[in-house]
Amino acid sequence: MKIFAPSMLAVALVAALPASHAQQQSNPAVPGYAYGQRALVKAPYTMADLKSLQASLLFTEEDIKALRQSKAILADQTDAILDVWYGFVASTPELVYFFSDAKTGKPDGAYLEAVRKRFALWILDTADANYDQRWLDWQHEIGLRHNRLKKNKTDRAPSVAQVNFRYIPALTIPITTTLKPFLAKKGASSADVERMHAAWVKSVLMQSILWSQPYIKDGEF
């Protein structure tokens, strides 16, 4: 798939990052990672809303099992996955723009790296999410951090004001398409890989819908 071949920009961008992306041992050690923190605002959507959304997405207990199965498979591959995802972002000008310095227009290496550490934890959190109120509040916070209401604040990044809405659900596709080969790398049956992939598509789309809430006009979410 030539679209994932590292472009010159991707190579330059990865080279600008620190050499080690070793995953943090302790989640609180990742700056800005706030899943489960009491300081988070309560989500504007309810557990009942989540259940309805899950029903409309055909998201079932089978998907939860498939996601959990994926955790052990992905746990030691998050760095390699992020290399692919960051390569894709770097080679897509429309996307790397959201990591750019608002003044110079150049990708902000420190911002990219700070997000990357949380992104690694997000992979594992997606795999074993329990869909409770804490999870819901964290989705709300993630949405705010894409929207102009809160983008850049966590990392004090000098970047552009928002990630435009349309790219948020769209990224479901590159994230889950590029994940699939990693799901297949540890000997799972092809039927299990298909199940895990389908569950990932549902989960990422579901999360992207929750993250979109701050962009939606009052009363229309």
Residues 6+ apart with CB under 8 A from 211: 139, 142, 143, 146, 168
Cα separation, 179 vs 82, whole angstroms: 10
Contact between 80 and a copy of itself (CB under 8 A)? no
CA geometry: angle 6, 8, 14, nearest 5 deg: 70
Cα separation, 107 vs 103, whole angstroms: 11
Contact string 31-70 vs a copy of itself (x = CB under 8 A): ------------------x--xx-xxxxxx----------
Least separation in angstroms between residue 28's CB and a copy of itself is 31
* Binding test (CB under 8 A) with a copy of itself, winner from 73, 78, 206, 207: 206
Q: What are phi and psi of 100, to 5 degrees?
A: -85, 155
Cα separation, 132 vs 129, whole angstroms: 8
Contact between 148 and a copy of itself (CB under 8 A)? yes
Least separation in angstroms between residue 44's CB and a copy of itself is 12
Residue position matching structure tokens 């790397």: 96
| Closer of 187 and 219 to a copy of itself (Cβ) | 219
Least separation in angstroms between residue 197's CB and a copy of itself is 10
Question: In the complex, which residues of this chain contact a copy of itself (CB under 8 A)?
Answer: 3, 49, 52-53, 55-60, 92, 94-95, 147-148, 162, 164-167, 169-174, 177, 198, 201-202, 205-206, 208-209, 212, 215-217, 220-221
